Amino acid sequence: MDKSAITLLIKEEAQRLGFALTGISKAEFLEEEARDLETWLQEGRHGTMEWMAQHFDKRTDPRLLVEGAKSVISVLHNYFPDPSHQLPADAPKISTYAWGEDYHAVLKRKLYALLEFIQVKVGAVSARVFTDSAPVMDKAWARRSGLGWIGKNTNLIHPKMGSWFFIGEIILDLELEADGPIKDYCGTCTKCLEACPTDALTPYQIDSNKCISYLTIELKENIPAEYRQKLDGWAYGCDICQEVCPWNSFSQVHHGQEFKPLDHILEYNRKDWTELSKSRFSKLTRPSAMSRIRFEKWLDNLDASREES
């Protein structure tokens, strides 16, 4: 089977598995992205996320992750919610990506199924599956494979579907037909930059030290006083720069069960969350991405997110 035929079969199977879009890029050194990443790290914009500075070589060259790698398969999985699904008016704000089942588990399950399909069709291949859990530059590979451009808010944006996507990859030693990148359509728009309450964004750059998602998730310490009155009610993550992006007017509601909001997400108000015991909080958040933060961190987030500027 030639590479065009197997590439088409892979994309068809990925769609059957529930991925919205699939793109292919050649596995090679990310020269431009490596320079940008090095500068970003040197400026300290990664905050306390020391893991971002680790495995730099592997992060910028997939051939160090999979020996003999020839292709990177990038997939996008839609998680844009039904507009009828709304948090209670008096609830702390929780980023939409954490409303349902943990995306790491969902995407890996489907990526392994896709890899199994490839192995059935072409035989044994050396490959690894990734989704935001290893030194892989997800957005860079998705951009290179034509799945969108990286916008001024640093999110991957597709011109017909917006940016409410999870990204995953399969790096493998199989030569496939590569796609090419598409044009950047941000133009003169600066809505995301203007809407960020903490001024974390400059065009195509983010300072994690100021980002609400970082402050409420990645930062292990309590939120600094200078930002406690700028959270705009967010207690876990932040969706502001996606909510204001004009390209997300094209977003389509996902219809899978995996990211259907967990019952408590749409039912609990701030009082309910505040009165939870540590064990109850752990039980409720275990199935979702919210399991990443400690209970004590959650309590501080709740306290900070209720402060008004």
3-state secondary structure 160-171: CCECCEEEEEEE
Catalytic, 303? Answer no
Supply angle C-alpha 168, 112, 181, rounded to 5: 30
Cα dihedral sign, 236-110-139-147 = negative
Which residue type sits at 248? N
- The DSSP bridge partners found for residue 94 are 236
Which residue type sits at 63? R
The residues, ordered by sequence, that sit 6+ positions from 184 with a Cβ below 8 Å of its Cβ are: 149, 150, 151
DSSP H or E run through 141: helix 138-144
Rounded distance between C-alpha atoms, residue 244 and residue 285, angstroms: 28
- In the chain, what is the straight-line distance between the N-terminal and C-terminal CA atoms, in Å? 62
Rounded distance between C-alpha atoms, residue 63 and residue 300, angstroms: 42
Q: Catalytic pick from 36, 57, 82, 132? A: 132
Catalytic residue ranges: 132
